[in-house]
Structure formats: C-alpha cells, structure tokens
Structure 1
Amino acid sequence: MGLITIEICKGQSTRVYAFKNADLSVLSQTMAQCCKNIKETVQLLASRHKDIHGSVSKVGKAIDRNFDAEVSAVVAETVWDSPERQKYLSETIVEHLYRQGMLSVAEDLCQESGVVIDMSMKQPFLELNRILEALRMQDLRPALEWAVTNRQRLLDLNSTLEFKLHRLYFISLLNGGITNQLEALQYARHFQPFASQHQRDIQILMGSLVYLRHGIENSPYRSLLETNQWADICNSFTRDACALLGLSVESPLSVSFASGCMALPVLMNIKQVIEQRQCSGVWTHKDELPIEIDLGKKCWYHSVFACPILRQQTSESNPPMKLICGHVISRDALNKLTNAGKLKCPYCPMEQNPSDAKQIFF
C-alpha cells in the first residue's frame, strides 16, 4: 500500500504527516459520519426550538382570550363601603399576617388602618409561631412544654399530639447512636401514660434499641428515621393547637381568596351568557349567587343539604327526604315528582310509594 504525505504549515514550522491509503479511508468515513451526526443534531435543535417558539407565541393569545380584566360586573360595588365592613376586612388581613408570623407588617397595618387588636387575640398567634419556628429548627422542647401544660384539654379532643412529640424526641435520641442508649431508656418513661392507647408503637420504639449498636438505619426499624416526620408534626401541632384555641386551621383570608379564584371564572362565564341573551333581573347584588358553584369537598363547612333536583337548600318547611333506594331529595321535589300516587326515583329506576319516604335530620 502506498503512502500519502500531507504537509501542514503552522506559523514558521512545517509538519509532515504520512497516512496509509487504508488509514485515510477510515478517517474519511469517520469525518463523514461526524458531519452527518452534527447535521442531524442541528436539525433536531431547530425543530425543538420551533415547537418551543410556537408554544410561547400562543401564551399571549391564551391570556388575551381567557383573561378579562373587567370583573366589576360580578362584584357588588358597595360591598366595602360601610366602615364596619372595612374594619372586618382589615381585621381579617391582620389575623392572616399574625398566622404567617409577619408580626411587624401586622403592627404597621393596625397603625395605618386604625384597627385595634386586643392582646388576647394576638397572644395565641405569637405563641403558635414561636413553637412552629422551633419545630422547623427541629427543637421539640417548646412544643413538649406546651403539650404537657395543655394535656387534659388535648385528651378531651382525642388528640395524640403529646405522644407524637415524645415519640419524635425518642427517635432523635436514637439518631445519636449507642452513646444515647441510657438517655433513651430513661426517656422511655414518658410513654407510660400512653401505654394503653399506643402499645404497639411503644413496642416498636423499644425494640429498635436492640439495633442501636449497629445503627437503626441498617435495621428493620429504619422507617423510624424518615425525614417527613418533622413536617407531619408541624401539621399535627397546627391542627390540634388551632382546635384547642377555637381557631380554624387555615386562614380565613386564604380560604376566601382560593374560593374566589375558583368561583370567578364561572361567574364571568354566566355574566357573558346573561349579556348575550339580554336577560334582565337575573344578576343581582344580593347575598346569593345566580348559580350554584361547586368548590369541592375541601370547602364544605356546614351540614346544609341542597336538593339535587330543585337546587334549593332544605329548610324546616321543606326538609330532606330519604327514599327507599337510599337517594335523598327535598320534600318539594318529592311532591313534584309524584305521579298517580307513585314516585320514580330520578337517579335510579326504582318505583315506590311516596309515603314510604322518611325525613332525615343532619
């Protein structure tokens, strides 16, 4: 096989490379394959960029199509006109800020709005935030002190908060290894008041001590070291502490805002339909909405039954009635559906005597 000589000049020096014909053929094929791969990659990137550019260009159109800045038609213009309602709104915002631990912002709002918040209302939020901040830093002592002080009231609520706190403190001792074995055994005495209700959990905790020398993470009890327990104890403390203090777990302002976000698109749609059909007198500024809006079970707070047929809330004069098939409708709906002394359930094909329906009480 012959040789091919190539001279490459670089600056003042000249280098000579000799290739065999076979080597040059392999090099040529490799270069061709590389060029092909580069071309395919460039085409792929261009195609992906085209898809992304198309999606981004549609965002503005989607916003213009779905977002209506004019929402005054679905809001009563005089809803916040009275000083009393403005005071309620300011107090709700202040309470939300206290819940979030934004104490300085809440104080500034009180000064600027003239709202006077009693210290008895402020103190529970200060204590809750102090304890929650300690829990986020994995410090259980303030929460344990609070739980022990309110033990009887927590038991009256069937709360297991104190046991969960003691359990988590015991697990934190297990994290220290064999050096904390004696301290863990001594701390196990705190489980005595909960032995009857949490016997199985206590047995698991005590059984983990056998593997302390080799490490709990290498034992069948490694699930005790899950990190999500700290988030769970924060949620448990917030829920039980709020129940003990007579407060809602979630901020009323947050719930109202979230409900408004879900309800607003529906209200905007019905407003558009009313305007297109030129219906007058349907949309009013009273305390009721022109349509029923389902906010999901998360926003169910009252045991009020609405008839699924007439879409009306039941009352003493129009109570809910349970049919033989198990479905429940209002008495007015039952009377309207009765035909020739027979009633056919609107949800299933069962026919029955209307007199067999029984009134139920919530």
Structure 2
Amino acid sequence: MMKILRIGFFHRVCVCVCVPASIMEQCACVERELEKVLHRFVMYGHQSEERLDELLRSVCEIRAQLVAFAGVQDADLSVLSQNMTQCCKNIKETVQMLASRHKDIHGSVSKVGKAIDRNFDAEISAVVAETVWDTAERQKYLSESIVEHLYRQGMLSVAEDLCQESGVVIDMSMKQPFLELNRILEALRMQDLRPALEWAVSNRQRLLELNSSLEFKLHRLYFISLLSGGIGNQMEALQYARHFQPFASQHQRDIQILMGSLVYLRHGIENSPYRSLLETNQWAEICNIFTRDACALLGLSVESPLSVSFASGCMALPVLMNIKQVIEQRQCSGVWTHKDELPIEIDLGKKCWYHSVFACPILRQQTSESNPPMKLICGHVISRDALNKLTNAGKLKCPYCPMEQNPSHAKQIYF
C-alpha cells in the first residue's frame, strides 16, 4: 500500500503553509524515489505495448497462414508448425520478462515507503504534551486559528464549513475586514487598482501615521498602466499626474522619473531608458505592501499565526526527535521530564523573533508567566523568584548598585 504524507489536515481542511528548508529536503528525497517509480512504470508500459504488439502481429500472420492452408490438400505444414512453435516460445518469454520487470517495480514501490519512514518519523508523541488539546477551550482556540488562517487566504467557503462542523462562532466584525481585504487583493491580482485606491484614500490619515507609501505606489502603478497604453493615453496620463501632488516632498525623485518617461511615449516605453517601469513583478510587490499595511491597520500580524506556528514546529521537531533518540540511547530519560519546556535552545531564525527572552542574571534561569521579570527602582531587572530570595525583613538591596529599596515597588515588565 502506498504511504501518503499529509502535511496539514483538519476537518477536511488542508492548510497551506511555508515549509522550512529541512522539511523540503526530506520531501525532495521521497520525491526522488517516487520519480524513479513513475519512470519505471512509464518505461514498463511502453515496453509492454511494443512486445504485445509484436506478438499480436505474429499471431495474426499465423492465423492468415492457417486460413491459406485450410483449402489446400497435402500442404506442407512443417513451416507453419515451426512458426507456431516459435510464436509460443516468444509468448512464454514475453510473459516471463514482463512478470520479472513487474516484480522489480514492486521493489521500487517499497523503496518509496522506506524513504518516507527514513525521512519522516511517524511517532512524535514522545515530544508532544499529551494534554495539549485535552480541553474544549483549547480545541476552540485551534479551530479559531484555522478559521482565521482560511479567511486570510481568501478561502471563505471552507472557513464557513469549518465553523459549522466545529461549532465555532466567528463574529461578523472579525470576518468583515478579511472579506474586504481579500476582495481588494483579488482585484489587484486581476490588475484592477480602483478598489485598493479607494481603500487607501479612505484610510489616508492612518496610513500616513504608519509612514506608509501604499497610496503613492498605487497611483504610480496606475500611471504606469496608462503609459503602457501608448501615445493614446498621453493626455489622460498628464491629467492623472495631479494625484502625485500630495506626495511631491517625499517621492520627488520617483515623480521626476515618471514624468520624464512621457518624452518616450510616442516611441514606446519598452524601447526607452524607462523600460524598467514596465516590470511585471510590481503587481506582486503591491499585493505584499497592501497586505502588510492593511494588517497593520487591523492590528494583525502580516503572516498568519497558524503558518508561523506550523513553520516553527517543522524546524523544531527534527531537533527534538534527535534529542529524544539520544536520551533513549544513553538511558537518561529523567533529563527531560516536562514536555512543556524545551530541553535545549532551538534557533528558529530572525524571521521568528518577536520579542527577546529574559534570563535572570541572579538565578540563571529563563523567566516565565509564573516567574516574570521584575524591574527595580534603580532600573535593574531580575526575576520574581530572585526578588523573593533577595528580600530580607521587607527590604531589598540590589545586587548591582547596590541600592536599598522596598521590594513592593518593583514592577512587572513582561507577561
């Protein structure tokens, strides 16, 4: 039986995420084995058709000879007998050859399964907390995360189906921004700038507060689309250039380039020094800029939290599986007793850095929700456990200043 690798599936919903390089390498190994099997299947099919066609022609020739000899008395059948013997021999050899090669293909198919087993560990429960989804509240959070991801991806009908099947109720106020965002993105993919321009103009003040250049780049792209229409759009392009006036101080150089391109409009921008204005990657860039700024205005991260969590897990899981294997080999299972804590530090790359992690300089341990960092009056920061241990008779002396102070004046600065 062929083994099928499913990367993410929940309630008939397949979640598309960015897969890290290590997982991609493992998938590539399996894919190479699969390509070998497919190649052998194709070659086997071609060879089988050729040999069977040859046998069919031989049988047809012998049949024609039998018909020819049927009306002849005292005919010499020795030649026909030899032909029939040779044909039977060819049929037997062909059947044996096809069976042998078919058996070889079975070996290649089994190698695909072994490649999956070698590159992917099916049993990951040893590094996962057993109670991570044991409550209805946590399952609700998971369903909400998947629904939000689907809304971000524009898969609105799938999100609605998931809500019905999982019982998750999503407020319309949460749903509406994603509906509008996907409507505008779909228009941008169709190279229709009007919905995005209307949105940018209506949110101009908030975009300026973010120091965003979205509105200017939308006007710029619309102006370029007029330039690509040739000399017939010259007057319309000149009139549309008035939209650049509010952005003259911030984007003076870009505006000068756009206006200079009008000189070459008669001969075609694609044949001028301004041909770079017609690059097609600008549409993908404007989609990314719009998504980033729209999410910022909505108070959302640019990337889906589910995608980030999944990608982080894909990077961390192989390391944790290796640690588990080492612990089992050295028979020191008591080293890692709490699955909600990582036994080692795993570097997920700067892309997954959202805030720094504070380690107490006194106790040399990482802070947590139950042991948050505390800021002293003098400005030094230690963990709450260290604060309690250094407190003596209601007073605290900072181990760095040392300034004597009241521990109740310390402020929690995280969590």
Calculate the TM-score normalised by the size of structure 2: 0.62
> Offset of 1:69 from its aligned partner?
1.0
Larger displacement relative to structure 2 (199-208 or 271-280):
271-280
Q: Is the Cα–Cα contact under 8 Å of residues 204 and 215 in structure 2 kept in the other structure?
A: yes
**What secondary structure sits across from 1:298 in the alignment?**
helix
Instruction: Give the direction of change, closer, same or farther, for the CA distance of 1:29–1:13 in structure 2 (3 Å limit).
Output: closer
Equivalents in 2 of 1:189, 1:25: separation in Å?
99
Q: Is the Cα–Cα contact under 8 Å of residues 322 and 359 in structure 1 kept in the other structure?
A: yes
> Offset of 1:8 from its aligned partner?
28
What root-mean-square deviation, in Å, do the aligned CA atoms of Structure 1 and Structure 2 show?
A: 11.0
Larger displacement relative to structure 2 (164-173 or 302-311):
302-311
Matched with 1:149 is 202
Q: Is the Cα–Cα contact under 8 Å of residues 341 and 353 in structure 1 kept in the other structure?
A: yes
Equivalents in 2 of 1:203, 1:226: separation in Å?
18
2:350 equivalent to 1:301: no
Instruction: Give the direction of change, closer, same or farther, for the CA distance of 1:312–1:20 in structure 2 (3 Å limit).
Output: farther
Q: Is the Cα–Cα contact under 8 Å of residues 181 and 209 in structure 1 kept in the other structure?
A: yes
Instruction: Give the direction of change, closer, same or farther, for the CA distance of 1:52–1:159 in structure 2 (3 Å limit).
Output: farther
Instruction: Give the direction of change, closer, same or farther, for the CA distance of 1:331–1:158 in structure 2 (3 Å limit).
Output: same
The number of residues matched between the two structures is 359
Equivalents in 1 of 2:286, 2:160: separation in Å?
29
**What secondary structure sits across from 2:59 in the alignment?**
strand
Note the residue ranges of structure 2 that are not aligned, 5 or more in a row: 1-54
Matched with 2:158 is 105
Note the residue ranges of structure 1 that are not aligned, 5 or more in a row: none
Higher relative contact order (CA 8 A, sep 6+): 2
Q: Is the Cα–Cα contact under 8 Å of residues 8 and 16 in structure 1 kept in the other structure?
A: no
Q: Is the Cα–Cα contact under 8 Å of residues 59 and 87 in structure 2 kept in the other structure?
A: no
Instruction: Give the direction of change, closer, same or farther, for the CA distance of 1:43–1:122 in structure 2 (3 Å limit).
Output: same
Instruction: Give the direction of change, closer, same or farther, for the CA distance of 1:192–1:352 in structure 2 (3 Å limit).
Output: same
Instruction: Give the direction of change, closer, same or farther, for the CA distance of 1:224–1:16 in structure 2 (3 Å limit).
Output: farther
> Offset of 1:259 from its aligned partner?
0.9
> Offset of 1:304 from its aligned partner?
2.7
Equivalents in 1 of 2:114, 2:235: separation in Å?
68
> Offset of 1:358 from its aligned partner?
21
Larger displacement relative to structure 2 (4-13 or 203-212):
4-13
> Offset of 1:313 from its aligned partner?
3.7
> Offset of 1:108 from its aligned partner?
1.1
Equivalents in 2 of 1:357, 1:245: separation in Å?
34
Cα distance per residue 1:221-245 (max 9 Å; x no partner): 0100000000000000000100111
Equivalents in 2 of 1:293, 1:81: separation in Å?
26
> Offset of 1:283 from its aligned partner?
2.3
Equivalents in 1 of 2:56, 2:343: separation in Å?
90
Larger displacement relative to structure 2 (323-332 or 70-79):
323-332
Q: Is the Cα–Cα contact under 8 Å of residues 75 and 285 in structure 1 kept in the other structure?
A: no
Cα distance per residue 1:117-160 (max 9 Å; x no partner): 00010001000000000000000000000000000000000000
Runs ≥4 in structure 1, deviation > 6 angstroms?
4-58, 307-311, 314-362
> Offset of 1:282 from its aligned partner?
2.4
> Offset of 1:56 from its aligned partner?
9.4
Q: Is the Cα–Cα contact under 8 Å of residues 129 and 340 in structure 2 kept in the other structure?
A: no
Equivalents in 1 of 2:249, 2:366: separation in Å?
45
> Offset of 1:63 from its aligned partner?
3.2
Matched with 1:169 is 222
> Offset of 1:82 from its aligned partner?
0.8
**What secondary structure sits across from 2:369 in the alignment?**
coil
Instruction: Give the direction of change, closer, same or farther, for the CA distance of 1:315–1:64 in structure 2 (3 Å limit).
Output: closer
Instruction: Give the direction of change, closer, same or farther, for the CA distance of 1:102–1:311 in structure 2 (3 Å limit).
Output: farther
